């Protein structure tokens, strides 16, 4: 997109940022550059900017530019998955560093910290990050990174980004916020003081359930992001050109999709909260949610993901998930099709309640989704 003095709206940036009309053909949709290597100049240089596919690619550059624009950052490093993005960020730290992370953080990140980075020498403390006192108490002289996930998966806990950023910076630590569930449509952590934003681009950003990827966006240049870029380039855990192209394509409809999914999720959460077969609904859009006030302050909508606890045990919860007809039983979220999952049976060593079901609200008509849930919750589910 051509440079402009005044930022465009999110809808316009989602369509145009990182893209340009192909100078060779005039194509409005950018070509996919599959080449693994690029021609050197006669003098041995690379005036066109590309050397080898691991270190750079036009499609990846376009995606990284778009994500930095949408998240209001200055630079992005993209990866082959969301897990690879978080893994690489942790790997960019020194082995003697300390990390503060949420008790409710994605279970795969807990596995990274416990099984890979702790034996390597990295220390960490898991705390209830909505509790600012607990965050402050967990900080150490060698804390270099505070990691938050808000809203969290699958508990939908909400952390005050600005308040935790202040605590982290007072301790000379960086704050990284996983913004996968909210997306830049509903929340921009870098404008609230976070130093880095993490995404599983697999989810809402790509948005169609057909490509895996991850990204880290930085608010401004800093030594940690410089090291992360080195890990990305030398380690080579980068997305393919086609993966970048698919994700960039998905960004064009991001604002429309996320707002529609959030609106439907709000309606379903309200309906579930009144259902006699439901014990509790975890969704920050509900006034009774403990993080509702903070979410109102830092979000522009509450997202398309929610969890609910059914009345009964794990067997009852799994039976309900097994009997939906329209809502698919599947892992992941953010796609046009709705999905439901019993999380405790997926997560290892989880603190997730055995009667919790996570619901990713897609783009089907909300009345059809409610009808599907209603027929299962009202049945004996045998």
Active-site position among 19, 106, 144, 302: 106
- Contact partners, residue 200, CB within 8 Å, separation at least 6: 81, 82, 83, 85, 180, 213, 214
Q: Helix 82-91 vs helix 223-235: angle between axes, to the nearest 10 degrees?
A: 120
Q: Is residue 106 among the annotated active site residues?
A: yes
Please choose, from the candidates 359, 310, 307, 321, the residue with its C-alpha nearest in 3D space to the C-alpha of residue 337.
359
Q: Is residue 178 among the annotated active site residues?
A: yes
Active-site position among 50, 52, 54, 311: 54
Query: Tokens at residue 340, please?
Result: 């439901």
Query: Tokens at residue 286, please?
Result: 């509900």
Active-site position among 19, 60, 144, 203: 203
Please give, one letter per residue, the 3-state secondary structure of 311-359.
Answer: CCCHHHHHHHHHHCCCCEECCCCCCCCCEEEECCCCCCCCCCCCCEEEE
Can you list the positions of beta strands (E) in 221-355? 278-282, 305-310, 328-329, 339-342
Active-site position among 178, 195, 243, 372: 178
DSSP state of 29: S
**Dihedral through CA 270, CA 306, CA 244, CA 45, nearest 10?**
110
Catalytic positions, please? 54, 106, 178, 203
């Amino acid at each position: 997109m051509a440079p402009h003095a005044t930022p465009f709206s999110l809808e316009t940036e989602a369509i145009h940022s990182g893209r340009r009309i192909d100078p060779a053909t005039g194509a409005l949709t950018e070509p996919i550059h599959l080449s693994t290597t690029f021609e050197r100049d006669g003098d041995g240089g690379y005036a066109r900017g590309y050397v080898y596919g691991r270190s750079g690619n036009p499609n990846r550059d376009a995606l990284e530019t778009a994500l930095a624009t949408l998240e209001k950052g200055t630079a992005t490093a993209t990866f082959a998955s969301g897990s690879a993005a978080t893994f690489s960020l942790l790997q960019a730290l020194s082995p003697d560093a300390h990390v503060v992370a949420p008790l409710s953080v994605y279970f795969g990140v807990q596995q990274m910290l416990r099984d890979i980075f702790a034996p390597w020498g990295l220390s960490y403390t898991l705390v209830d990050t909505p509790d600012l006192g607990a965050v402050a108490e967990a900080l150490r002289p060698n804390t270099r990174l505070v990691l938050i996930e808000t809203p969290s998966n699958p508990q939908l806990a909400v952390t005050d980004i600005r308040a935790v950023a202040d605590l982290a910076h007072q301790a000379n630590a960086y704050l990284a916020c996983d913004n996968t569930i909210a997306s830049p449509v509903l929340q921009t952590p870098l404008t609230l003081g976070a130093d880095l934003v993490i995404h599983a681009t697999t989810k809402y950003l790509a948005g169609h359930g057909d490509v895996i990827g991850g990204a880290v966006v930085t608010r401004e240049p800093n030594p940690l992001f410089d090291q992360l870029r080195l890990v990305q380039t030398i380690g080579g855990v980068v997305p393919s050109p086609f993966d970048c192209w698919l994700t960039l394509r998905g960004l064009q409809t991001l604002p429309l999709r996320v707002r529609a999914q959030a609106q439907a999720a709000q309606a379903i959460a309200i309906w579930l909260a009144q259902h006699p077969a439901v014990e509790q609904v975890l969704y920050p859009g509900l006034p009774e949610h403990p993080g509702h006030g903070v979410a109102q302050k830092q979000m522009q909508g509450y997202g398309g993901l929610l969890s609910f606890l059914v009345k009964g045990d794990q067997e009852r919860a799994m039976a309900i998930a097994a009997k939906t007809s329209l809502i698919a039983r599947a892992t992941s979220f953010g796609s046009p099709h709705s999905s439901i999952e019993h999380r405790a049976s997926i997560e290892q060593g989880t603190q997730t309640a055995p009667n919790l079901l996570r619901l990713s609200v897609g783009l089907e008509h909300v009345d059809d989704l409610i009808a599907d849930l209603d027929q299962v919750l009202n049945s004996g589910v045998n």
